[in-house]
Structure 1
Amino acid sequence: MTIQFHLFDEAAAAAQALTEAVRADLEHALVNSPRALLLVSGGRSPLPLFGLLAAQPWPWAQIDVSLVDERCVPLTDADSNSALVARHLLVNAAAAARWVPLVDDTLAAAATAEWPVAQQSAITANANPVLAQAAVVILGLGNDGHTASLFADAPQWNDARQTSARYVALQPQAAAHARVGLSLQALIGQHHCYVWSSGADKLATLERLVALVQGTPDHLPDTLNDAGPLALLIAHPKVILHVFHSAC
């Protein structure tokens, strides 16, 4: 188990520290490749981080930006992570980045049901070589232990946990919308991921999961399956999670 906590009083300080880490990773990736892929999570929590990233004088024209996960809704929907990223990250200097959507807006807007959109989006993402390997993955977290739309209550959870496919489609039971997101094996294959977190409840969730992993016998790893993907990532010997957490 390797999880590193970087704790800050304010979101601005956490965003500054994570931005420096992201810069170093992108620079390293661009030494060995003409392009680098940055995957971010949606929601309101990372907006301070997005604002700071967008202002960085990086070679954005060489950087591809996409999502760790997306809800299968059109851009006009208030729950669209793509629309949020367009408004808050792909602006200023970062407007030069190449955006790679996980969900086709035309498909989502025309669909009468979300699940076929999720299935097609996963197929399309898995076939896209631009999305084959990320230089940086920034995860969020839910208080139920989910991340990247990998919900343990989804009927597809067992497949999403075991498949070698990079992207999977899921229908969580306790959350709205069908989703497409990175599989557990894809996250394990990153070897290290960043986690953006804020507030006492999120820190308590992380501490609970760490305690759960520490209390689970090494010979019984399957007992963590119902705890969700974050517990499994914390427990995995080849994964390092760098948590950047702000108290407010």
Structure 2
Amino acid sequence: MPPVKRHFKTSDELAEASAEAVHALAKESQAARGRFSIAISGGQSPKGLFAQLASKRWSNAICWDKTDIFWVDERCVPLGSPDSNEGTAREILLSKIAIPSSNIHAMQTSMHAPEQAALEYENTLRNFFGENTPFPQFDLILLGMGADGHTASLFPRDKALDEEVRWVLPIQNPPGSASPCVPRLTLTLPVLNSARNIIFIVVGKEKITLAENIIAGSPETASLPAALLRPNGNVSWHLSLA
């Protein structure tokens, strides 16, 4: 199915529409399968969406006790660091909604070395989705995109892009352009491409130009991580200049 592209005048409008999409997919998934599994990203891109989901309108509309939250990637920093994806999500969203702690499945990067943390998180996913499934199938994965075309913590020309078996990888030496430039964990391309639904949240003129080229199938962007996402499910690009 070709990707869906939606333009918004402001990041607030984008966040509101994205929250509406999350609610619709949660309702659909819970009706069909009893639960809603979502993997969230960090960085600046999802903050507006997190705030919307924490608002009275959406926090009351979504059945959080039938929702399981996972992470797409995480930086190897303490939970209290402003660079912690889990910390950001807890501050803006998770601390403000009625979700059982057992439904929050964070990457434990501060407790283990990156390789061990990656194995532990893959085990968490296998326990939830089943040992015998080739790859987990999230109902929704939320992604951002960097100006270099990276998504999750999958960076251009990184050998992690070639992974075909593992579900979670440590990224020990991210490029200097990564902010912050610290080791990370990330879901792999096969996991991302197994999602039922993916929503990209992209804000800013430079990133939108890149996104437009990726969506159009430009050969110049074909090898970028974000362009390598060709899931069996649905892909929506939510774009806003500011």
Band the TM-score falls in, shorter-chain normalisation: 0.7 to 0.9
Q: Helix, strand or coil for the counterpart of 1:147?
A: coil
SS in 2 for 1:74: coil
Gaps of 5+ in 2: 131-135
- Contact 2:171/2:185, CA 8 A, preserved across alignment: yes
CA distance in 2, matches of 1:239, 1:141: 19
Q: Does structure 1 retain, via aligned residues, the 8 Å contact 2:139–2:197?
A: no
Q: Render the CA deviation track for 1:9-52: whole Å, top value 9, x for unaligned.
A: 11121111111111111111111333221211111232111011
| Structure 1 residue 71: Cα displacement | 1.2
Uncovered stretches (5+) of structure 1, i.e. residues with no partner: 109-113, 217-222
Residue 209 of structure 2 aligns to which amino acid in structure 1?
A
Are 1:167 and 2:168 counterparts?
A: yes
SS at match of 1:189: coil
Q: Contact conserved, 1:164 with 1:186, CA < 8 A, in 2?
A: no
Superposed counterparts of 1:122-141, under 5 Å: 122-129=121-128, 132-141=136-145
User: Which digits, 9 at most, give the CA deviation of each residue in 1:218-244, with x for residues without a partner?
Assistant: xxxxx94xx3221122xx384542011
Pairs aligned (count): 228
CA–CA separation in structure 2 for the residues paired with 1:6 and 1:247: 12
Q: Does 1:10 align with 2:10?
A: yes
Q: Tell me, yes or no, if structure 1 residue 47 matches structure 2 residue 41.
A: no
Q: CA deviation at 1:76?
A: 2.4
Q: Secondary structure at the match of 2:193?
A: helix
In structure 2, the partner of 1:198 is 203
SS of the aligned residue for 1:76 comes to: coil
* Counterpart AA for 1:173: P
Q: Deviations 1:174-233 (Å, cap 9, x if unpaired)?
A: 32122222211111111531001111121012123345x3448xxxxxx94xx3221122
In structure 2, the CA distance between the partners of 1:122 and 1:177, relative to structure 1 (3 Å rule), is: farther
Q: Deviations over 1:136-172 (max 9, x none)?
A: 111110111111111124343322xxx1332222232
CA RMSD of aligned residues (A): 2.5
Following the alignment from structure 2 to structure 1, what is the Cα–Cα distance between the partners of residues 160 and 97? Answer: 39
Aligned counterpart, 2:38: 38
SS at 1:146 equivalent: coil
Matches of 1:157 and 1:237 in 2, distance apart? 15
Which digits, 9 at most, give the CA deviation of each residue in 1:107-135, with x for residues without a partner?
A: 15xxxxx5445544454344332593321
Corresponding residue to 1:231 among 209, 227, 231: 227
Correspondence 1:87 to 2:87:
no
Q: Quick check: 2:169–2:188 contact (8 Å CA) kept in 1?
A: yes
In structure 1, C-alpha distance between the alignment counterparts of 2:21 and 2:85, rounded to whole Å: 23
Q: What residue is the counterpart of 2:21 in the other structure?
A: 21
> Contact between 1:72 and 1:118, CA under 8 Å: does it hold in 2?
no
Return the offset for 1:104.
4.8
Distance (Å, rounded) in 1 between the aligned partners of 2:36 and 2:207: 29
How many Å separate the matches in 2 of 1:130 and 1:100? 12
**Higher deviation after alignment, 88-97 or 42-51:** 88-97
SS in 1 for 2:152: coil
1:247 aligns with 2:241: yes
Aligned partner of residue 147 in structure 2, secondary structure: coil
Residue deviations 1:71-105 (CA, integer Å, cap 9, x gap): 12220222110100000111323555621112254
Q: Is the 8 A contact 1:71 1:177 kept in 2?
A: yes
Aligned-partner SS, 2:97: helix
Q: Conserved in 2, the CA contact under 8 Å of 1:42 and 1:84? A: yes
User: Take 2:80 and 2:95, find their aligned partners in 1: how far apart are those partners?
Assistant: 18
Distance 1:19 1:80 in 2: 22
